Structure formats: structure tokens, C-alpha cells
Structure 1
Amino acid sequence: MFLKKLTLLQEKIPHDSKYPFSIPAIKHLREMTFQKSVTFFVGENGSGKSTLLEAIADKCEFNTAGGGRNNTYEVHASESSLGDYLRLSWLPKITNGFFLRAESFYHFATHLEEVDNTGFVHYGGRSLHEQSHGESFLSLFKHRFNQRGIYLLDEPEAALSPARQLAFLKIIHDLTRNNEAQFIIASHSPILLGYPDAEIFSFDGDTIAEVSYENTDHYTLTKYFLQHREKLLAELFSEDV
């Protein structure tokens, strides 16, 4: 384990602060402890999970537009100042890793076009722009995520088919089985969330709370849909009548 705990320094936050401190899960955050090699953040859009993940990336000195410490390029990212009020506790301190923002991955691929002089050896030997969206994500996971480090991923399922999400779970397993990597992932995917023995934190309430896989909305709603598809859709569409 590398990142053991984060603390929000509430006493340093100005009293007139608004976003992101207006988000309930962030407003009431004090500490969060990480006890597993794989952690998931779940919650509805706007619940604060991506905001906190980006703040962790900022404190790790990763490019918050996406990338690691050595990827310097600019693209519009969150203007959140949350990272200024976080303290991270490490054992041991790790500086290697990567922050993936699915929404700005195209810009990261363009950045590589401009600076890579290795023949894209860390990305499968081909430009990410010459691969499909899903292929480029898997190339990153397979070849770039091969060192001892912490990997912060914001909705990595965005470009992955269900089969490739399963392939990604195998990559996570291979990287973490010898305690060589730590993953913190914001996700909506019931497939990824099913990773065994992961800890899952829900941002949907007033406070961030750990939940079991079976108690996530992602699991219960997907299960209900698969078991009662016709009934659920009939009820949903009847609201338009």
C-alpha cells in the first residue's frame, strides 16, 4: 500500500468558499483511509467523486489534464482548488503513476505525438491516434501501467466494451497481486466495480460512506434491469403518456 490516508484541512478553508466545498460529500469530508490496493469512488454525476480524484492527482503532482509528472501540456480542466486543502499520508511515498481523465484523453494522445521519441514503446508501439478509442485505453493500461506506482482513473470504462472491461480487470489483478500498484478509480461500471476485495466509497449521501458491491445503485439497478427489462421499460415509457 502507498496512499494510506487523505485529510481535508477544514480549518484552512475560507468561510466564503463555494464550489467544490458546496458539494455535500466534500463539505463534510474530514479523513478517508485506504486499506486496499483497489478503491472505487461511486456516485451520481456532480457528487464529487471526480473532483476528489482530480485533487489527489494534483497533490501527486500529476498533470490534472491527464498524464504523469512528466507530461506537461495544457487543456481546460477543473478550476477546483480542492488540492490546496488536502494532505496525503503515504507508506511509502510513491511519485510514479498516472492520472487518466477519459474526457481529455484525446489531448493526452496529441501531446504524445509531439514529444514521444521512443516509437511509442510505452503505448504498444503505435500512436494512440492510430488505435481505436478502446484499443488506445488498453494500450495505455498494458504498457504504461507497468511500474510500481499509483494510478488514478476517472471513468476508464468510457471507451471499453464489456469484454475489454474484463480484460482491464485482469490487468489490475496482475499489477496489484504483488503489491506493486495502487488503483483509485471513479466509475459507473457494474463490471469494474465487481473487482474482488475492492473497497467502494459512495459519494451520494451527505458524507462519503463505504458500501458493499451488492448495495451500489450500479449493481442493483443493472440486476433489476436484466431481470425485469420489459416491465422496467414499460413503466419508464408510460410516464410519457
Structure 2
Amino acid sequence: MIYFTRNMILNGFGLRNIPDEKVFPFTLELVENLPAISLTRPVTFLVGENGSGKSTLLEALAYAARVPTVGGISLEEDPLMEPARRLGKMMSLRFGEKTTAGFFVRAEDFLGFVKNILRSIAELDAEIQEIRDSWTGGDLERALATLKAERQGYTDRYTENFDGMSHGEGFLRFFNQRITGKGLYLIDEPEAALSPARQLSLIKIIMDAVKEKGSQFIIATHSPIIMAMPDAQILHFDSGTITGRHYTETDHYRLTKAFMEAPERYIEALNKPIY
């Protein structure tokens, strides 16, 4: 079980005001109607259909909270994140506790993160080999000590065979290594990188981080497996509103359950003419 705690890092958020000039994302009905949201559990799920605004809101929260971005271009520099920056600048966050730990990550950014790690290791290998090839005297190992220690730091943290892992294996190892303390962790659709079994592994990592480190997570997801995490708060995005729902009341749970009970009925319906 996830143990409830009142000593949360982020207690809630809302909008200070909306600009008079109507530009995206302030044209979204969700943003125009955004209520003051209280976060009541260490794990909060943002759920809803594609286009409901949950990812935009999560990105804006990451910008407003000033948590670092993993893998891709930072939120401050990414030109595609301009809507998130606009919204983030208008947000008011209610912190229960300040922390510098945490991060924001999207599943698609993880590939960029892996490439950066492997590129750094490759550059260190090339530099070490160049020194070996050109060395003319003195203590070679002492000269290489700093570079080798830096390389060892990468492999100790992320494993020598990071590129040989599956996407899901690497994703889980990343979480195990980077959730290092009581921090605010914002994750967008982690299921994109994970099989159903690996999603259960992620649940275990998150539950342990909450219990042992006091971490807090806000996760946008479509996965009925991930959102089944016990004691989590579920915020449902629908028709420009955000409401709290129980797990079994979410569209994701209901549709998945109905489909698994009678998949042939749904497949047959796809073959029916639409007019």
C-alpha cells in the first residue's frame, strides 16, 4: 500500500489569471474553467482522452515547478513547449515543502536520454584511446584516472550495456537510478515504453519511492494497469472539466473491462458500416 502523508511537496495548483489575449492554451475550455486543484495523495493520475489537456497541464506544472527535464530539450528552450510556458507562467503552485529533487520526463524523451548517455561514453572512450595512442611517458594510468572515473560513473549508474537493453528495461533502470530522494516527479504516459508486466514493475518502484523516500508523483496516463495503484488520486479530464474519480469509475477501466469480457463484440462493431 502507498502510505498517505500530509507532508506533501506540492499541495495544489491553480491559475492566477488568464491573459486577455486569447492564444493557445488559453483557448482551451479546460484552461478557461481550471479550478483550484488540491493534491491529496502522494500519487496523482491525470486521465482522459487524447486532446483533453492533461499533457499540456503536466508540462505547465513542470515548467512552473522548475523541475529539470530528462532526455529532450529543456522546457525553457524547447520551441514546442511555448504553450506550456505560457500556461506555467500563469500558474500558482501551493508547496508544502520545497525540494530540489525530481524531474519531468516523457516516454519519447527517454530515447534522447539514452543517446546522450551513450554519446558521452563513446566520447570518453575516444578520448582515452587518443591519450593511450599518443602517450610518450610518465604514469599513463594516473593521467587517465579522471576520464576513467567519469566513464565508470556512467556505467555504475546506468550499466555498461544500456544500449543493449530493451526500451522498457532501460526505462525501469532509469527510474530506479534517478528517483534518489524526496522529490517531485512528473511523468507523461510512461506506458508508451512498457509492457503490461513492466508497468507492474513501475508501480512497485513508485510505491517504494513514496514509502521509503517520501516522493511525490504526478502522472498522465491512459493505462488502466498503472492507474490501479492503490491510494492514488485520480483526476479525470472530460469536456473541459477536471473531476476526481474512483478507479472503477474511469472510462479507461470500464472500457478495458468490457472489452476483455467480450472482445468479439467490439471487433464485430468495427466492421459495421458507419452510415
2:235 to 201, 217, 226: 201
TM-score calculated relative to the size of structure 1: 0.89
Which protein, 1 or 2, shows the higher relative CO under an 8 Å CA cutoff with sep ≥ 6? 2
Distance 2:101 2:257 in 1: 38
Instruction: Give the superposition deviation at 1:100.
Output: 0.9
Change (3 A) 1:184 1:67: farther
Distance 2:183 2:201 in 1: 20
Counterpart for residue 122 of structure 1: 157
Change (3 A) 1:86 1:225: same
For structure 2, the 5+ residue unaligned runs are 1-7, 122-149
Distance 1:102 1:76 in 2: 19
Greater fraction helix: 2
TM-score calculated relative to the size of structure 2: 0.78
Instruction: Give the superposition deviation at 1:178.
Output: 3.8
Distance 1:72 1:210 in 2: 28
Distance 1:222 1:87 in 2: 36
Counterpart for residue 16 of structure 1: 21
Q: Does structure 2 retain, via aligned residues, the 8 Å contact 1:156–1:187?
A: yes
CA RMSD, Structure 1 to Structure 2 (Å): 2.3
Other structure's SS at 2:14 match: strand
1:110 to 99, 115, 137: 115
Change (3 A) 1:72 1:34: closer
1:141 to 175, 179, 186: 175
The sequence identity of aligned pairs, in percent, is 43
Higher alpha-carbon Rg: 2
1:48 to 53, 61, 82: 53
Q: Does structure 2 retain, via aligned residues, the 8 Å contact 1:151–1:182?
A: yes
Other structure's SS at 2:238 match: coil
Distance 2:75 2:232 in 1: 32
Q: Does structure 2 retain, via aligned residues, the 8 Å contact 1:43–1:202?
A: yes
Instruction: Give the superposition deviation at 1:87.
Output: 1.5
Instruction: Give the superposition deviation at 1:167.
Output: 0.8
Change (3 A) 1:57 1:129: farther
